[in-house]
């Protein structure tokens, strides 16, 4: 095995996307070497990861509301309701988006597109914090 594993925590204020690009980029800058791969992993089942447009916040907002409409709270289909009305929709949203993402690295820089940002996507209402694990290899 090779590479380096780091972790950081992300404060969340309920549902929504929190951009983590600069925190991941800082870990990549610290790592040594010319070319490699940066993998971001989220150890949660009711929050996820997404790479999306970071220029216009209305794109994130539309994405958030579209997914909330597709996976609404209070759906009579749900039997897993003991952890609150936002729990099962959060699991479904997490399953439809990413738990891990890999971005190639060159010259100490993530090779993201011009408009791409890496986001933690919180799917529950509660404020709190989430953990993100990063492997650079």
Residue ranges in contact with a second copy by CB under 8 A: 1-5, 31-37, 39, 41-45, 50-53, 56, 58-59, 61-63, 65-67, 69-71, 75, 77-80, 82, 88, 91-92, 94-106, 111-116, 131, 133-137
CA distance 23 to 130: 14
Q: Which is nearer to a second copy, 68 or 125 (CB)?
A: 68
- Least Å distance, CB 127 to a second copy, is 19
- Least Å distance, CB 34 to a second copy, is 7
CA distance 66 to 133: 28
Q: Which is nearer to a second copy, 98 or 125 (CB)?
A: 98
- 69's enclosing H/E stretch is helix 57-70
Q: Which long-range contacts (CB under 8 A, 24 or more apart) does 65-72 make?
A: 67/93, 67/96, 68/15, 71/96
- Least Å distance, CB 13 to a second copy, is 20
């Amino acid at each position: 095995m090779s590479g380096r594993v780091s972790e950081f925590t992300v404060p969340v204020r309920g549902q929504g996307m929190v951009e983590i690009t600069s925190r991941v980029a800082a870990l990549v800058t610290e790592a040594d070497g010319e070319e490699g791969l940066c993998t971001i992993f989220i150890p949660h089942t009711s929050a996820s990861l997404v790479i999306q447009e970071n220029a216009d916040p209305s794109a994130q907002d539309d994405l958030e509301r579209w997914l909330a409409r597709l996976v609404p709270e209070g759906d009579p289909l749900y039997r897993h309701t003991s952890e609150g009305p936002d729990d099962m929709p959060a699991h479904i949203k997490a399953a439809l988006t990413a738990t891990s993402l890999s971005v190639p690295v060159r010259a100490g820089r993530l090779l993201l597109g011009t408009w791409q940002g890496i986001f933690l996507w919180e799917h529950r209402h509660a404020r709190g914090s989430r953990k993100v694990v990063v492997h650079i290899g």
